[in-house]
């Protein structure tokens, strides 16, 4: 049986990362096919699932005044002891590209140990376009190229396989220098939720003081992401000022101290009510999504956001930016795409969609069917396992296989819901 180390690269101060979550879920689903140990810089999730766990130590290089730097800068330099854990596995699977310097270190260690590795392209759209989407000047663009883009490109060039989340990532990895090896689409999946209990939903929603659903009342829109500018929350709020119709907007995710929420929402008309939820549990996310008429995700750059699939799985149609792999996720039957950073286009699309609630409900049903048919974690795991086999078949047949590991492994099981309190800094 193939033995895989799933290395999840993410700044350890983050409590949630979309790429990390996807790596955990895919690793759990892969247990039906091979033996996977997870080494995550975020530590162990609250419900770690069936995978073996490799304890990981993280920290910052000594000798520099790191406490004087904001997290967004410190994040670039976190290191771990994962490079020393690579030897002894048949294959390494790298998830998430930040901190990029650490991703490159782990990839180098794998090459030195003769262990082939594959990379899932979480966040690659943001890596490739970060200078533009964050509005960097010349100095910061140069720093981004040196500290983010170049290390990711180094890891990509040495990979035995790239598991692209969507076909949109093919050109990105080729531009990074990927020339030889397996290039396959292995998208994110989503757990199909159990049927909702209306009483439980009502109890979960009570703390947000939302009115009872009213088919003739204002439509409810939902946004859920990190509240950094690149996820498009400022674009969404600008679109509401253009929209000039009563709406309820739920803004999910943990508040950020540097954002003036009162100032942003106070400029809206009084009949546009905005609820900023703060940190949400998975159960609360599900209840809020089921309460929504439309999920709105005006991101400026994303690779294949899990949150889009999660909304679709709850039967909610999606209005999102036409960036990265989102056009691969959404078809016209279950959602609509708009240009990024275009508040007027977003407002016009919201207006068209919310005028026909019956159509929104039909689109929601099609959205749920679309993810159930093609975007489950079981399907993703089957594709990933086939890719593993191809990579190992193409590797050096003389490479000695590692001895059997001694620990008792849990039995294989389908990918579980991680069930953790999350949504504080969801990334991709």
* Buried/exposed code over 18-45 (b: 16+ C-beta within 10 A; e: otherwise): bbbbbbbbbbbbbbbbbbbbbbbbbeeb
Delineate the domains of the chain, giving CATH numbers in brackets: 3-189+376-422 (3.40.50.2000), 198-373 (3.40.50.2000)
- What would the pLDDT profile of 276-322 be if each residue is shown by its tens digit? 998 888 899 999 999 999 999 999 999 999 999 999 999 999 999 99
Distance CA 308, CA 317 (A): 9
Pick out the chain residues at pLDDT < 50. 402-422, 424-428
pLDDT on residue 230: 85
pLDDT on residue 427: 42
Residue partners of 172: CB distance under 8 A and separation at least 6: 121, 124, 125, 127, 128
> Between 18-30 and 306-313, two packed helices, what is the crossing angle to 10 degrees?
70
The three-point CA angle 88-410-34 to 5° equals 50
Burial class (CB in 10 A: 0-12, 13-18, 19+), 296: buried
- What would the pLDDT profile of 378-410 be if each residue is shown by its tens digit? 999 999 999 999 999 998 665 555 444 334 343
pTM comes to 0.86
DSSP-assigned letters across all residues of 24-81? HHHHHHHTTTSEEEEEETT---SS-TTSEE----EE--TTS-GGGS-HHHHGGG-EES
Q: Is the peptide bond before 99 cis (omega within 30 degrees of 0)?
A: yes
pLDDT on residue 337: 98
Distance of CA 364 to the CA centre of its chain: 21
Integer angstrom CA distances of residue 263 from 57, 209, 230, 259, 283 = 41, 21, 19, 9, 29
pLDDT on residue 92: 98
Distance CA 230, CA 97 (A): 17
Is the CB of residue 186 less than 8 Å from the CB of residue 165?
yes
């Amino acid at each position: 049986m193939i033995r895989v180390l799933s290395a999840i690269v993410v700044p350890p101060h983050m409590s949630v990362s979309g790429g990390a979550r996807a790596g955990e879920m895919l690793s759990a689903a892969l247990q039906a096919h091979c033996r996977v140990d997870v080494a995550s810089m975020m530590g162990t999730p609250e419900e770690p699932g069936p995978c073996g766990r490799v304890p990981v130590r993280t920290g910052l290089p000594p000798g520099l005044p790191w406490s004087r730097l904001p997290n967004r800068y410190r994040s670039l330099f976190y290191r771990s002891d994962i490079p020393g854990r690579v030897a002894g596995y048949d294959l390494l699977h790298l998830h998430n590209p930040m901190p990029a310097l650490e991703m490159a270190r782990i990839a180098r260690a794998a090459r030195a140990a003769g262990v082939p590795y594959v990379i899932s392209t979480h966040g690659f759209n943001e890596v490739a376009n970060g200078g533009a989407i964050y509005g960097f000047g010349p100095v910061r663009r140069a720093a981004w190229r040196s500290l983010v883009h170049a290390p990711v490109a180094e890891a990509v060039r040495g990979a035995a396989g790239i598991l692209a989340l969507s076909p949109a990532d093919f050109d990105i990895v080729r531009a990074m220098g990927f020339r030889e090896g397996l290039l396959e689409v292995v998208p994110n999946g989503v757990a199909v939720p159990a049927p909702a209990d209306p009483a439980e939903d009502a109890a979960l929603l009570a703390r947000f003081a939302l009115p009872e659903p009213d088919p003739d009342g204002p439509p409810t829109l939902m946004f859920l992401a990190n509240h950094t500018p690149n996820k498009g929350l400022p674009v969404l709020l600008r679109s509401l000022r253009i929209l000039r119709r009563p709406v309820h907007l739920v803004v999910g995710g943990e508040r950020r101290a540097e954002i003036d929420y009162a100032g942003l929402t106070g400029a809206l008309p009084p009949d546009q009510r905005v609820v900023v939820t703060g940190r949400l549990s998975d159960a609360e996310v599900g209840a809020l999504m089921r309460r929504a008429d439309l999920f709105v995700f005006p991101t400026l750059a994303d690779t294949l956001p899990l949150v889009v699939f999660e909304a679709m799985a709850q039967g909610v149609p999606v209005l999102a930016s036409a960036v990265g792999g989102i056009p691969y996720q959404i078809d016209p039957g279950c959602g609509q795409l708009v240009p990024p950073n275009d508040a007027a286009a977003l407002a016009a699309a919201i207006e068209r969609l919310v005028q026909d609630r019956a159509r929104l409900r039909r689109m929601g049903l099609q959205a749920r069917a679309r993810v159930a048919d093609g975007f489950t974690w079981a399907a993703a795991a089957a594709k990933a396992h086939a890719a593993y086999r191809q990579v190992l078949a193409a590797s050096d047949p003389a490479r000695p296989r590692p001895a059997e590991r001694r620990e008792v492994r849990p039995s294989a099981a389908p990918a579980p819901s991680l069930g953790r309190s999350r949504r504080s800094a969801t990334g991709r």
